[in-house]
Amino acid sequence: MPLVLTIALVAVGLAGLLPLLQSSQTTTTGHNIGELERQRNDWEARTHELEAEIASLASLNRIEQEAHQRLGMEAPERTLYLTVDVASPE
């Protein structure tokens, strides 16, 4: 009889621990989800920053300014057009 009682007590004890383990697992999963959502928000913010930087760098005014200041380029004084009298290859 004591063996059956011991087994019953162990079974009841394990059954009592099951909700605690599930609650702990749920809490851990919830924390992981929150952390992943925070990381996603950080990456989305960084993506928007980079998109704004790309738009700024691609601006024609900025490119022209860089060409003049950094590369020493100037607009041509006149434009020369050449006419080529050869048929295009088909």
* Better-predicted residue by pLDDT, 2 or 42: 42
What are the start-end ranges of the H helices in the chain?
2-57, 60-69
Cα–Cα dist 59/48, whole Å: 17
pLDDT, tens only, 36-76:
999 999 999 999 999 999 999 999 999 999 999 999 999 89
- For 78, the 3-state DSSP assignment is coil
Identify which of 17, 35, 36 has the alpha carbon closest to the alpha carbon of residue 25. 17
